[in-house]
Structure 1
Amino acid sequence: MKRTAMILPVLVVLGALGISALFVVDERENVLVLQFGQVKQVRTEPGLGYKIPLIQEVVRYDARILGLQSQPLEITPLDDRRLVVDAFMRWRIVNVVDFREAVGIEGVMAAQGRLERILNAAIREVLGAVPSGAVLSEDRTVLMNRIRDLARRQAATLGVEVIDVRLTRTDLPEQNLEATFARMRAEREREAADEIARGNEAAQRVRALADRTVVELVSSARRESEIIRGEADARRNAIYADAFGLDPEFFSFTRSLTSYERAMKSENTSMVMRPDSEFFSYLRSAGGAGLPDMSTILPELPEEQDEPASETPGEPLLQ
């Protein structure tokens, strides 16, 4: 009975030691077995592992992809315009032994601090060699790839791999925003003034061309109209000449009627002339058959009044 009482505690202790010698490796982590700070085992595959109880210890590291958000960093690009930049890095542990030797017992927290310094140095080196326009543009893929490659080479000594780097913000410092906006407004106003001036110049050219075209068209139309009018007048005169040439007596008759119409058109017209004046010669001629004789209508004037009477005010003298 006493022997059983002594063996039972020993078995319990041995069982506890046996259980403590076992450990499980998860698929999401890498495991180091350390003995007095020295690496004795490296387990990267999931499964069950063994260690010496009380002497060896198990240190676990995350094998998944980790993220690092850097703090805002002020840089000076090639054109001396200050910018505030921050970035996001994705990384993972690829060599747990080198990682343990590089960061010590602090693990991932210490690695985050060192990676942030590496990232900031890479950002300063890459962005400091290009103008601010390239940094502020939408297409910054080339710059981000250069930062990633530079940070990857420097982070390899820590036993980690830098997978990707992305610039999350590229802004101007607050104290420079107003001056920058004012300069941008001035540039846009200057460009707008140039565009307006070029537009006015183009409009003036169009108006001048239109005015010249109008003058040319009007001149051409007038010239053609004068030519057509002259041809029409010539044709009309030819028709008149042909028609009047057929009957000269009729031509003389129409010409006399036209003269009468023009001379006596106004109601206030007064005429003083001799009865035998040539103005009424057609009416007195034999060709005026059927028309009254002017000698019977107008009395014969005395001989001393052979010449037309002098013109009195308001009564024109027509012959």
Structure 2
Amino acid sequence: MRKTAIIIPAALIVLAVGLSSIFIVDPRQKALVLQFGQVKQVVQTPGIGFKIPFIQDVVRYDGRILGLPTQPLEVTPLDDRRLVVDAFARWRITDLVKFREATGTQGIGFAQRRLENILNASTRQVLGSVPSNAVLSEDRTPLMNRIRDLAKREANALGVDVIDVRLTRTDLPEQNLSATFARMRAEREREAADEVARGKEAAQRVRAAADRTAVELTSAAQKQADVIRGEADAKRNAIYAEAFGKDPEFFAFTRSLSTYEKALKGDNSTIVLTPRSEFFNYLNSDMGVAKPAPAAPAAGQ
């Protein structure tokens, strides 16, 4: 009985010591075996590991890719137009020994604070070297790659690797929105006024060209009409001259008839003439031959 009482506690002690010398590393983790704060073993593969019980400790770290959203950051691009930027980084631990030396016992929480400071400084440096239009454009991939590369170099001292950086938001500060919108509205109104002015100028040019074309066409038509009218008048006068040369009396007769027709054509025309006027020579003739008007009686007859 006395031996049994001694063997059982001894076995339990051996079992406890044996179990305390075994540790398990999850596939999502990496581990360091520390002895009095010094790194004795780096375990980066999942499985079962061994350590010296009560002397060595195991510290586990997340081996997955981690995310780091930053707080809104105000930056000033080249054109002094302040912007508020949010970034998001993806990172992971690559050197456990260096990471332990840089972060001490605070681990990932301390590393994230340091990474956020590095990311903010890199963002300010990169975005401060370009105008605001480049920051606000849809294609910001080159800028994000520059921020990532700069942050990667700075974060190497922590034993971590910055895999990717994304700018999730780029806006104007609240106090600048009203002034910016007013300036944008003024620019659009000026552009609209310029377009209206150019439209009016183009319309005036079209209208002037149309008026000039109308004047030219009218002038050409008038010139052609005058030429035709002149040629007709010349031909008419030639015919009259030829007729007058053949029979002057008949020519005078026809001209008188034409004159009668024109003079007596109006409905309200009133003509007051003496019967002895030359206008009625052919009307006083029996045969249509003009007779000289009778002489006025002498005085005293």
Same fold (TM over 0.5): yes
**SS of equivalent residue, structure 2 residue 58:** strand
- TM (normalized to structure 1)? 0.80
Quote the residue 1:279 is aligned against: 280
Aligned residues of 2:256 and 2:282 also touching (Cα < 8 A): no
1:43-72 Cα shifts (integer Å, max 9, x gaps) = 112222222222222211111111111112
Equivalent residue for 1:126? 126
Deviations 1:229-265 (A, max 9, x none): 3334445556677788888776555434323323333
| C-alpha contact 1:25 1:45 (8 A) present in aligned 2 | yes
Stretches of structure 1 that go unaligned for 5 or more consecutive residues are 306-319
Contact 1:89 1:164 in 2 (8 A): yes
Match of 1:216 in 2: 216
How does 1:153-168 map onto structure 2 within 5 Å?
153-168=153-168
Change over 3 Å in CA distance of 1:110–1:263 after alignment to 2 = closer
User: Which residue does 1:136 correspond to in 2?
Assistant: 136
Query: Which one-letter code corresponds to 1:280 in the other structure?
Result: N
Whether the aligned pair in 1 keeps the contact of 2:282 and 2:291 (CA below 8 Å) is no
Amino acid at match of 2:271: T
Distance 1:225 1:26, change over 3 A: farther
Question: What pairs with 1:1-319 in structure 2 (closer than 5 Å)?
Answer: 1-235=1-235, 253-266=253-266, 268-274=270-276, 279-281=280-282, 284=285, 286=287, 303-304=297-298
Distance in 1, Cα, partners of 2:41 & 2:132: 50
Distance 1:35 1:248 in 2: 152
Q: 1:302 to 1:110 in 2, by over 3 A?
A: closer
1-side partners of 2:247 and 2:64: how far apart?
A: 126
Over aligned residue pairs, what C-alpha RMSD do you find? 3.1
* Counterpart for residue 309 of structure 1: none
Distance in 1 separating the partners of 2:296 and 2:246: 42
Q: 1:29 Cα shift?
A: 1.6
Q: TM-score, normalised by structure 2?
A: 0.84
CA distance in 2, matches of 1:198, 1:22: 85
Alpha-carbon distance, 1:100 to partner: 1.0
Q: Distance in 2 between matches of 1:109 and 1:271?
A: 130
Q: Hey, what's the Cα distance between the residues in 2 that align with 1:122 and 1:21?
A: 44
Q: In the alignment, what sits opposite 1:312?
A: none
Q: Which moved more, 1:82-91 or 1:10-19?
A: 10-19
State the aligned residue count.
Answer: 297
Asked whether the 8 Å contact 1:256–1:282 carries over to 2, the reply is no
- Please give the secondary structure, in 1, of the residue aligned with 2:130: coil
